[in-house]
Amino acid sequence: MHRLDDEYEALRKTVEEFARDVVAPVIGDYYERCAFPYDIVSRMGRMGLFGLPIPEEYGGMGGDYFALCLALEELARVDSSVAITLEAAVSLGAMPVHRFGTPEQKAEWLPRLASGEVLGAFGLTEPGGGSDVPGGMRTTAVQDGDEWVINGTKAFITNSGTDITGFVAVAAITGRRERPDGTTAPEISTVIVPAGTPGFTVSKKYSKVGWSASDTRELSFSDCQVPVANLLGERGRGYAQFLQTLDEGRVAIAALSVGLAQGCVDESLRYAAERHAFGMPIAGYQAIQFKIADMEVRAHTARLAYYHAAEKMLAGELFKKEAAIAKLVASNAAMDNARDATQIFGGYGFMNEFPVGRFYRDAKILEIGEGTSEVQRILIARHLGMPA
């Protein structure tokens, strides 16, 4: 999948133009105000971006996950806040409902998710958990008659507190299961909690280093009650379901990372041609040329990595290792390119009015979110046969 066919290329071009003409001129102001860009999100919904991998019967575009990745890359070339809003809404919000939801849940949520009318969120991470999801999880959902009673706290949840957030799918301990050795392990399930449910409290937005125009919050649940029918997927399979979702999400985050890395190249080329030092454009100096050449190599290599992972995913083949490689390579490329672009811009690179300033602030989280770089190395090592 190294060459895009006409349909993919048309989508890529459309999103490229949207990012350049609609997002780029205004996103800096949203970023400075830490404001959620509702008007941009609404236009993305009308374009069908939130429904790219959702079947047409539910109001989606009937496309595939690679189409979503192409859109994410082009958006992130301009801004990562908008890109992560789309990524989380589809990958973590809509796709679990699409993959694991009942017919009733799909009918209730997917049309609105696909249109961008509402956003979904996934509540997995907890304040004391991080990468140790099973061991660190404390949130519980206890069945009481026809209802789940949920108690606990979730941290760093994207799209969880906007005015158009429709629900959060909450991962919680719903019991204990016995292991073959006689010990017990937590039974983790996922429950849909609609926004506004009594006992479900959304905290104020975090003050973040980057992604300032996206919505990220802490959530708390205190005797929060929802119907038993809100169970998403099979009871006790919540963590396994999320791991499947996360494999896809890592390919999407890799695409977003490639977009940021390529955006650094775009901005550096433009600036190097305009900025003069010692009587000539700095683009004429070999030090700058080599730096930008290295940046292009990183972006190109990372793009091939996520294309390869997506190709295996669409073919129905195992792609966990390839997704981990893509996420690791691409997030490293984004961080390295953001640092080099800031250096090329000099003092202007430290100013938020220039895109590379935002890129630098946005890049670091890509080495942390949806599986840290260390977790990716663990996954790769295990797939090479090394012991757990």
What is the tens place of the pLDDT at every residue in 364-377? 999 999 899 999 99
First vs last C-alpha separation in the chain? 33
Please determine, looking at this structure, whether the domain spanning 6-119 carries the CATH number 1.10.540.10.
yes
Please determine, looking at this structure, whether the domain spanning 121-234 carries the CATH number 3.40.50.620.
no
What ranges do the domains of the chain cover?
Answer: 6-119, 121-234, 240-383
Residues 6+ apart with CB under 8 A from 257: 76, 302, 327, 330, 331, 333, 334, 363, 366
pLDDT value at residue 140: 96
User: Looking at residues 123-137, what average pLDDT do you find?
Assistant: 78
89 pLDDT more than 60: yes
User: Looking at residues 144-162, what average pLDDT do you find?
Assistant: 97
pLDDT value at residue 130: 67
124 pLDDT more than 70: yes
345 pLDDT more than 80: yes
pLDDT tens figures, 251-307: 999 999 999 999 999 999 999 999 999 999 999 999 999 999 999 999 999 999 999
Please determine, looking at this structure, whether the domain spanning 240-383 carries the CATH number 1.20.140.10.
yes
- Per the CB < 8 A criterion, the answer to whether 58 and 95 are in contact is no
- Alpha-carbon distance of 31 to 214, in angstroms, equals 9
Percent of the chain at pLDDT exceeding 90: 88
pLDDT value at residue 1: 53
Check if 370 is active-site. yes
pLDDT value at residue 374: 95
pLDDT tens figures, 60-86: 999 999 999 999 999 999 999 999 999
**Would you call 171 helix, strand, or coil by DSSP?**
strand
Count of CB atoms situated within 10 Å of the CB of 372: 16
pLDDT tens figures, 205-233: 999 999 999 999 999 999 999 999 999 99
- Per the CB < 8 A criterion, the answer to whether 372 and 335 are in contact is no
The single-letter code of the amino acid at 181 is: D
Reported as a pLDDT band with limits 50, 70 and 90, residue 3 is confident
Active-site residue, selected from the candidate residues 74, 267, 367, 370: 370
Average pLDDT, the chain: 95
136 pLDDT more than 80: no
46 pLDDT more than 80: yes
pLDDT tens figures, 312-334: 999 999 999 999 999 999 999 99
| Closest to 86 (Cα-Cα) out of 48, 130, 60, 33 | 48
The sign of the dihedral angle between the CA atoms of 37, 95, 318, 62 is negative
340 pLDDT more than 90: yes
192 pLDDT more than 60: yes
360 pLDDT more than 60: yes
Alpha helices in 204-354 (DSSP H): 238-274, 286-314, 320-345
pLDDT value at residue 132: 65
**Would you call 310 helix, strand, or coil by DSSP?**
helix
pLDDT value at residue 353: 84
The single-letter code of the amino acid at 299 is: A
The single-letter code of the amino acid at 153 is: T
Count of CB atoms situated within 10 Å of the CB of 149: 17
